[in-house]
Every structure is written in C-alpha cells, then in structure tokens.
Amino acid sequence: MNRKRLAPFACLLAYVLGPPLGAENRTPYSTGVNLRRSILLCEFESAAVTADAGPGQLYQTVAARVRVSRVLKDADAAGLTPGFYDVTIPRSYHVPGIPQYPAWMDRDLKPGLVYMVFSDAKGDIHKAIEEPMSVELLTDKVDTVGDVELG
Amino acid sequence: MGESSLPTAAQIPGAVAALDSPKLHGNELAQYVAWLLFANSDAETAPLFDALQGKGAMAFSDSGKSALLDHLLSRVIAPQADLRTNRSMR
C-alpha cells in the first residue's frame, strides 16, 4: 500500500471517526488472529478473588470456573476441547521486575461474561486461559467471532 | 482464519463483504483490514479502500475504529518518524 496515498486517509479517519488517539477507553487491539496459537471462547461461570496482591504476594489471584464453548483455533492440534475448566488467574500490577500478565488486568470476570481468549500456550488449556496474550470481551453488538473466522 | 489460506489479494473481496454486513466489527477485523491494505498493491486494495471511504468505515465499533486508526497510523507515521530520526542522527 502506498503510504503517501494512505496518509491523508488515515488523517481523515482520525478526524471523522474519533475517538481521539490516546483516549482512555481505547481498547487494546488484538495481537493477531494468525499469530496466536489458540483462540478460545470462554464464559465465566464463577470467579472469586482468592488472594490479593501485597507484601509477599506478587499477584492477585482469581479462582474461576470457565466454560470453553468453542475452540476457534488450535494451531498445534493439541486437542484443546470445549468444556468446563477450573483455573487460577494471576492478575499482576505494574511492579518492576516481576512477570506481567496484563491480559486479564482490569477485566470484569463476572459470571455470564464471554471473552475471546488469544493464547500462545501450547497444549495446556488451563495455561491458555490463565495467562493469555490478550482477551476481548464479546458483546451482542460486535461480530468478533465472525471477524476471527474471516481473518 | 477462513480466508488466510488464500493469497492476500484474494482475501480482499471477503473483507469488503464483511464491511458491507449489518453487524459491527471489532479489533480483529480492523487489524486484518489494515494488514490487507499494506500487504497488497494500490490496484488490488482499491475496492477495500473505496469501502472504507464509504459506509465501510462505519462498520466498526468505536474500539474497532480506534484500532483501525492505530494500525494505519502506526504503519504510516512510524516509518516516517524513524526516517526523520535516522536523518537527524547523521
């Protein structure tokens, strides 16, 4: 694509479409349907904080029961299958020097919410859910599943 | 994923059709569309470009629009900024 041709288009989109770049409610975009090793559709059945972050506890942990209703991608043919899974989600904060698991950070984990989970965990569906590369909350208004199936 | 086995240019009609569908689209299609625009020639992307200049741009959710802008601007502006930085360092 010719960058000179696209520059005014992008500026026009920025002007017409908004919200402005840097808006606080901007959703981080996907890390890529093609790049991720697995893509799951996960509905939270239950979730409860089991430990808060604090001295000696690097992560807040959330024990959750998740229903995987669809496996949209299993690139490694690892046999990821729909079903119910009990997981422990580590939610870290921005503390230098410790591994960050930002995908679930600040995400609502209320029962009934459905997320598309993009992961690179190979063969371990628990790991795929607990430490994904990114997640996206599904709503009735946006055809996220259709978008993923297309791309 | 359905289209990814096709050559990139052959994936454009599917993306144009998606933009014409009544449902809103999100971040995944935004990234896909941006990738298609940069992965193909101007002639090949003309239908997609035209769709985005029309109602296709409104086929995205708010976060999808932001994502589309981010993907487009990062590919348009970042290389130019790199170029300026490299020039100023000489």
Report long-range pairs for A137-141 (Cβ below 8 Å, ≥24 apart).
A137/A107, A137/A108, A137/A113, A138/A41, A138/A114, A141/B23, A141/B24, A141/B61
| Cβ contact, residue pair A151, B29, below 8 Å | yes
- Which pTM was predicted? 0.75
Please tell me the predicted confidence (pLDDT) of residue A123: 82
Chain B: closest CA distance from residue A106 (Å): 17
Domains for chain A: give ranges and CATH numbers: 25-150 (2.40.50)
| Cβ contact, residue pair A149, B37, below 8 Å | no
d(CA A80, CA A16) in angstroms, rounded, equals: 42
Please tell me the predicted confidence (pLDDT) of residue B62: 92
| Cβ contact, residue pair A7, B1, below 8 Å | no
Phi, psi of A111 (to 5 degrees): -55, 140
Q: Residue B7 above 90 pLDDT?
A: no
Q: B24 and B62 in contact (C-beta within 8 Å)?
A: no
Residues of B whose CB is below 8 A from A18? 65
pLDDT tens for each residue of A53-89: 777 777 788 999 999 999 999 988 888 999 999 999 9
ipTM, two decimals, is: 0.75
Chain B: closest CA distance from residue A147 (Å): 5
